[in-house]
Amino acid sequence: AEAQIYRCIRFREENKGQGSDKSHMRFMLLGQVRAHQGRAKEAEEILRNVLEDLGGLLGPNDSDALECLSYLASVMNDLGKYDESETMNRHALEVRDKALGNDHPDTLTSLNNLAFVLQYQGKYGESETMHRCALEGREK
């Protein structure tokens, strides 16, 4: 998978100006691959760079930027940086809730992600409430 992502990135860079530039999605995917390989520090660096680029290009509340933020929050969770992960997940949830509504699948995913971080932090009451809300939303 990693080799294919690099081929896509190289192809995109060789063919700049042809079509829309979604290379950030390829780098985001590379960050995910690194995380799944257990290379969380590398994933963090890649995803922070993508998020910085997206924030400058599209704004911090763009759907791609929020997707990247969610992946980065997951990596922060893997690294044991729960406070940072919680902050990122709360932001993604807040923006998605306002933009998409509380029953949208992306909003429910953000709610569930935040619930897991709270669980890891020992905030069981708040975590349980959020897990229940996410489950109820998915059952509708």
Of 75, 76, 81, 52, the residue nearest 64 (C-alpha): 52
- 62 phi-psi bin (left φ>0, alpha ψ -120 to 50, beta other): beta
- Residue 10: pLDDT over 90: no
| 35 in Cβ contact with 71 (< 8 Å) | yes
Cα 140 from Cα 128, distance rounded (Å): 19
Residue 18: what pLDDT?
A: 41
Residue 15: what pLDDT?
A: 55
Residue 19: what pLDDT?
A: 40
pLDDT in tens, 73-125: 999 999 999 999 999 999 999 999 999 999 999 999 999 999 999 999 999 99
pTM score over 0.85: no
Residue 84: what pLDDT?
A: 97
Overall average pLDDT of the 54-58 stretch: 72
Helix, coil or strand: residue 22: coil
Can you read off the two tokens belonging to residue 130? 């959020």
Overall average pLDDT of the 55-64 stretch: 75
